[in-house]
Amino acid sequence: MAERNITEHLKLMVDLGEVTALLSESPDLQGFLDRAVAMVADHLGTEVCSIYLYNEETRLLTLKATCGLSPDVVGKIHLKIGEGLVGKSLKELRPICVANASQNPDYKFFPEAGEEAFDAFLAVPILRGIEKIGVLAAQRDQTRLFSNTEVMAMRALTAQLATAIETARALLQFASPAKEAAAPEFGGAGELFVCGSSASPGYACAKSVIFDRHPVERILKQNRGLEAGIGTAEDLECSLARTAAQLEQLQVSLGARLPEVASLIFEAHLMMLKDKTFMGKMLERIADGAPASRAIAEVSETYIKTFEASSHDYIQEKARDVEDLALRLLSNLTADAAAGETEWKGRIVIVRELLPSDILKITLEEVAGIIMVSGGLTSHVSILVRSLDVPMVIANDVNLLQVPDGSQVLLDADTGNVYVHPSEAVLAAFHGRERVRKTLKSAKSQMADRTLLQDGSSVTLLANINLLSELDLARELKAEGVGLYRTEFPFLIRQTLPSEDEQYAVYANLLKRTQGQDVTIRTLDAGGDKVLGYFDDAGEANPALGLRSTRLTLRYREVFDQQLRAILRAGAGVGSLRIMFPMISSLDEFVEARQRVFDCLADLEQELDIPIVKPKVGMMVELPAVLEIIDDFAEEADFFSIGTNDFIQYMLAVDRTNDRVSEYYCPHHPAVLRGLKRIAEAAAQHGIDCAVCGEMAHDTRYVPFFIGIGIRRLSVDPHYLPDVQQCVMALSSERATAYAEQLLSKRLIKETAALLV
Residue 733: closest CA among 460, 459, 455: 455
pLDDT of residue 674: 97
Mean pLDDT computed over 544-560: 88
| Confidence band for 534, pLDDT divided at 50, 70 and 90 | low
Among 576, 601, 618, the domain boundary falls at 618
- Whether residue 427 is contained in a domain is answered as no
Q: Are residues 650 and 697 in the same domain?
A: yes
pLDDT of residue 175: 32
Q: Are residues 221 and 308 in the same domain?
A: yes
Q: Are residues 214 and 277 in the same domain?
A: yes
Q: Are residues 299 and 364 in the same domain?
A: yes
Catalytic residues: 380, 693
- pLDDT averaged over the chain? 81
In sequence order, what are the beta bridge partners of 349? 209, 370
Answer yes or no: is pLDDT of 389 > 60.
yes
Q: At 152, is the secondary structure helix, strand, or coil?
A: helix
pLDDT of residue 516: 81
Mean pLDDT computed over 452-469: 92
Query: What share of the chain in percent tops pLDDT 70?
Result: 79
Among 592, 618, 644, the domain boundary falls at 618
β pairing state of 48-55 and 60-67: antiparallel
Answer yes or no: is pLDDT of 388 > 80.
no
In sequence order, what are the beta bridge partners of 96? 123
Segment 403-437, tens digit of pLDDT:
888 899 998 887 778 889 887 767 776 776 566 55
Q: At 206, is the secondary structure helix, strand, or coil?
A: strand
Mean pLDDT computed over 698-706: 95
pLDDT of residue 119: 85
Most confident of 340-349, 572-581, 665-674: 665-674
Q: Are residues 591 and 682 in the same domain?
A: no
Q: Are residues 167 and 213 in the same domain?
A: no
Among 568, 584, 618, the domain boundary falls at 618
pLDDT of residue 14: 44
The domain that contains 579 carries what CATH number?
A: 3.20.20.60
- Whether residue 728 is contained in a domain is answered as yes
* Range of lowest pLDDT (224-233, 443-452, 626-635): 224-233
Distance CA 466, CA 488 (A): 8
Compare 161 and 94 and report the one with higher pLDDT.
94
Q: Are residues 600 and 627 in the same domain?
A: no
Q: Are residues 702 and 660 in the same domain?
A: yes
- Whether residue 15 is contained in a domain is answered as yes
Tally of structural domains, the chain? 4
pLDDT of residue 511: 92
Segment 275-288, tens digit of pLDDT:
778 888 899 989 98
- Whether residue 454 is contained in a domain is answered as no
- Whether residue 584 is contained in a domain is answered as yes
Burial of 389 (0-12, 13-18, 19+ CB in 10 A): middle
The domain that contains 70 carries what CATH number?
A: 3.30.450.40
Distance CA 468, CA 490 (A): 11
Answer yes or no: is pLDDT of 454 > 70.
yes
pLDDT of residue 658: 75
Cβ partners under 8 Å of residue 594, min gap 6: 581, 617, 636
Segment 250-260, tens digit of pLDDT:
777 766 666 66
First-to-final CA distance of the chain: 71
pLDDT of residue 355: 63
Distance CA 330, CA 525 (A): 39
| Confidence band for 627, pLDDT divided at 50, 70 and 90 | very high
Distance CA 258, CA 576 (A): 24
For the stretch 654-665, what's the b/e string if a residue is b when 16 or more beta carbons lie within 10 angstroms of its beta carbon?
bbbbeeeeeeeb
- Whether residue 186 is contained in a domain is answered as no
- Whether residue 465 is contained in a domain is answered as no
Segment 479-527, tens digit of pLDDT:
999 999 999 877 776 666 788 888 898 899 899 989 889 999 999 998 7
The pair phi, psi for residue 570, each rounded to 5°, is: -65, -35
Cβ partners under 8 Å of residue 347, min gap 6: 206, 207, 208, 209, 367, 368
Q: Are residues 222 and 347 in the same domain?
A: yes
The pair phi, psi for residue 497, each rounded to 5°, is: -65, 140
Q: How would DSSP label each residue in 434-490?
A: HHHHHHHHHHHT---SSEE-TTS-EEEEEEEESSGGGHHHHHHTT--EEEEEE--HH
Answer yes or no: is pLDDT of 610 > 90.
no
* Range of lowest pLDDT (84-98, 346-360, 421-435, 436-450): 436-450
| Confidence band for 226, pLDDT divided at 50, 70 and 90 | very low
Q: Are residues 591 and 637 in the same domain?
A: no
Distance CA 142, CA 152 (A): 20
Segment 33-78, tens digit of pLDDT:
888 899 888 888 889 999 999 887 778 899 999 999 999 899 889 9
Mean pLDDT computed over 89-111: 87
Compare 468 and 254 and report the one with higher pLDDT.
468
The domain that contains 227 carries what CATH number?
A: 1.10.274.10
Q: Are residues 161 and 197 in the same domain?
A: no
Q: Are residues 491 and 634 in the same domain?
A: no
Mean pLDDT computed over 522-548: 72
| Confidence band for 326, pLDDT divided at 50, 70 and 90 | confident
Q: Which residues constitute the domain of residue 531?
A: 487-618
pTM of the model: 0.64
Answer yes or no: is pLDDT of 312 > 80.
no
Segment 582-595, tens digit of pLDDT:
999 999 999 999 99
What secondary structure letter does DSSP report for 115?
-
